[in-house]
Chains A and B, each alone.
Chain A
């Protein structure tokens, strides 16, 4: 890339880094970067507001749930007194704008952001429960998406090259079908076939957050396979349509005229198809991450999905808010990184 942008390749130790830096400076203007970062902050604030609004959509307030839970454990306490104590602890006895102020102070000014203590695991901060689960989810997402992405680039380009052949005409609707299958149902069918009928794979391998890596991977193999099968169709369809558009360009005509070997030609197509599909991928990340959460909860893996879905069923509101907050932050940060990396990966794009 350094030679492509006309920068001399430096010999000293930090050469790669300084090259990267100079190409960054060439590709972006300061104005673009500030605009992009202001946009990110805007999204962050909107997310915070949405997370604040959601619990207030409910009739009554979340303290009633907590008190009924306490009453179930210990019926002798006085509900009115417990209610007032809980409301004071979560700041629910203030007017709405004061609550918003307290909320902003808790989330913006403290680190890690404070969403209060969990209802289920009493006296554990909700944020700690969520943060403990985060690495596991990230591992699952990264591994499954690297595998899915790699295989779909190959498949997508192959399908695009065979456009209007019978195999493409059959493949497209069947990929739509596979894409439309909810991931949890696919998992149920996989368990039914491979675990219950064929006795091939165990579907419940217990694993905890601090387990050694090999054991974690062993437990993750089956869920990862399911996530890969269910996300490949989406990637393939995106890459196929990007390549079909790309095949119409003059550029490809020139490539063909060069008389390249077909494998080299395909490789070049793959490289080109990769880039436009990145943006598309991050747009559908919100749906994908939800599916991965459901899979985690189905296999009882100690990830964010299990935490959030258990909290949703158990009415554990602080954990729900914290989980949603962390999910949004992961999405926002990965979107920002993808946006900023894009011109570095694709020499044709620059944000000046």
Chain B
């Protein structure tokens, strides 16, 4: 191999680990304002979820204050129509939201990477697997999720599973196209000619698609947050936990709108939007950084 090819071989690895190359992916990312905003948002909600395991101002489901109280010093986000503390509900609500977001992204990644890499590597599998991905892309995902949830009445884990099962095709598509382009690079050809087994070549292709997988997983997490919110709001979501969407569902049930209880509606909804934006900014900046690095 020439110098340039050797450099090319270590290049992606260095980029991902941030060793050696001056403009490694992480360095580019940390200079990016969008990335810092997104990371800050996600970090904040992670801390909130962890804190809510150990400390809550009030019991989120017990009646602990006056009914329909607007935000006050005692109840920062006010209380519900039955006197539950909304600040505690908001803190607790971050747990299932993050759990479902991460689990559904994990499910989508596992299926998407398996399909994408095998379709990109084995030419015979390419056509049938990508047609299958197309089938899943055309399905009306959100109505389908609502109906499935209405039938099976999910827990957090089954909700994450069904969300993941319907969001893998995006992952599979981008992983496949990356795998195809990596497969054509000279060092893969050399190792194939040297008789390196398929499994280890696929492993190395996987290592090189990792930045793309990560960016796409973050986009799936965004989808997971929104899908969970829709399911919870319609009252078909996980019944065993109290997510932000559930708060909105109860607000709707109690006609909070017509009482004018904006404090019951605003924090949960805006948190869904902010967390989802945080994840999308992370994914967007990672995708940009990857493109910037690989087109250099």
Contact = CB atoms under 8 A, between A and B. Distances in A.
A331 B233 contact: no
A288 to B, nearest CB: 8
B234 A173 contact: no
B164 interface: no
A173 B131 contact: no
Interface stretch (B17-25, B76-84, B88-96, B277-285): B277-285
B248 interface: yes
Contact of A309 (B37, B146, B272, B281): B146
A283 B138 CA distance: 7
Interface residues of A, number: 51
Interface in A282-302: 283, 285-287, 289-291, 293-294, 297
Contacts of A283: 137
B4 interface: no
A57 B152 contact: yes
B140 A285 contact: yes
Interface in A271-287: 283, 285-287
Interface stretch (A40-48, A104-112, A118-126, A216-224): A40-48
Interface stretch (A25-33, A159-167, A256-264, A319-327): A319-327
A177 B233 CA distance: 19
A72 interface: no
Interface stretch (B54-62, B109-117, B186-194, B255-263): B255-263
A55 interface: yes
Contacts, number: 148
B138 A177 contact: no
A1 interface: no
Contacts of B145: 290
Nearest to A324: B147
Given A173-B37, A185-B265, A294-B230, A331 B140 contact: yes
Contacts of B160: none
Taking chain A's interface residues, is the majority helix, strand, or loop, or is none over half, making it mixed? helix
Residues of B in contact with A, size category: 35 or more
Nearest to B248: A185
A266 interface: no
Nearest to B136: A46
Contact of A39 (B134, B144, B148): B134
Nearest to B272: A182
A155 B260 CA distance: 34
A57 B148 contact: yes
B269 A42 contact: no
A58 B140 CA distance: 21
B243 interface: no
Contact of B141 (A177, A290, A317): A290
Nearest to A330: B140
A196 interface: yes
A267 interface: no
A320 B151 contact: yes
Contact of B151 (A57, A181, A191, A285): A57
A289 B140 contact: yes
A180 interface: yes
B143 A293 contact: yes
Chain A CB within 10 Å, residue with most, of B139, B141, B143, B262: B143
Given A320-B150, A327-B143, A176 B280 contact: yes
A185 B139 contact: no
B139 A308 contact: no
Interface in A315-352: 315, 317, 320, 323-324, 327-328, 331-332, 335
A188 interface: yes
Interface of B: 34, 37, 131, 134-135, 137-152, 222, 226, 229-230, 233-236, 245, 248, 252, 257-258, 260, 262, 265-266, 269, 272-274, 276-277, 280-281, 284
14 contacts: A43-B138, A46-B139, A55-B151, A57-B148, A58-B152, A173-B277, A179-B280, A182-B233, A184-B233, A189-B269, A289-B140, A290-B140, A290-B145, A324-B144
Given A180-B280, A184-B230, A285-B140, 10 more contacts: A50-B139, A54-B147, A176-B277, A188-B265, A286-B139, A308-B143, A309-B234, A312-B236, A320-B150, A331-B139
Q: Which 6 A-B pairs have the closest CB atoms?
A: A290-B142, A312-B150, A180-B276, A185-B269, A286-B141, A181-B273
